[in-house]
Amino acid sequence: MDILIEQEIELHQYEIRQSKTDIERLIHPSFVEVGKSGTSYDFDSIIEMMEGEEPSSTRIHSQRYECIQLEPSVQLLRYESALVSEFGEVSDFAKRCSIWVFTGTCWQLKYHQGTPCSPFELEHN
């Protein structure tokens, strides 16, 4: 589902991550994450973590999105990600999955997990 990919990519953007309105629109109140570091987050701790972020010229590259319907209002979004520095250095390769739920008015991220993986070739759209 294109809307879920768009919303996932929105969450990679510093400006979105700094907007409480956008975060409340995109992330479900009962959100849970297991980060690639193994650290667990809930809605409050993920907001606190995002509020502490600083602007960076490093960007998140994501690719190979696959959406799997678990229920009509529950979708699993799988993809790969990596960090790309302003100099083109690539690091922090991960496989990721997100569970998005439709609340009756919008799609919200309810669960996210990142798992470190071997380097992969970046696809350019």
| 52-95 pLDDT, tens digit each | 999 999 999 999 999 999 999 999 999 999 999 999 999 999 99
For the chain, percent of residues with pLDDT exceeding 70: 99
- Give the count of beta carbons closer than 10 Å to the beta carbon of residue 100: 25
Cβ-proximal residues to 70 (8 Å cutoff; 6+ apart), any chain: 76, 99
pLDDT tier at 125 (50, 70, 90 boundaries)?
low
**36, pLDDT greater than 70:** yes
Rounded CA separation 99/97 (Å): 7
- The residue ranges of every structural domain in the chain are 1-116
Nearest to 87 by CA among 61, 59, 118: 59
Question: Could you tell me the fold of the domain covering 1-116?
Answer: Nuclear Transport Factor 2; Chain: A, (3.10.450)
What are the pLDDT digits (tens) for 14-28?
A: 999 999 999 999 999
Q: Is the separation of the CB atoms in 83 and 91 below 8 Å?
A: yes
For the chain, percent of residues with pLDDT exceeding 90: 94
pTM above the 0.85 mark? yes
Please compute Rg for the chain using Cα positions: 14
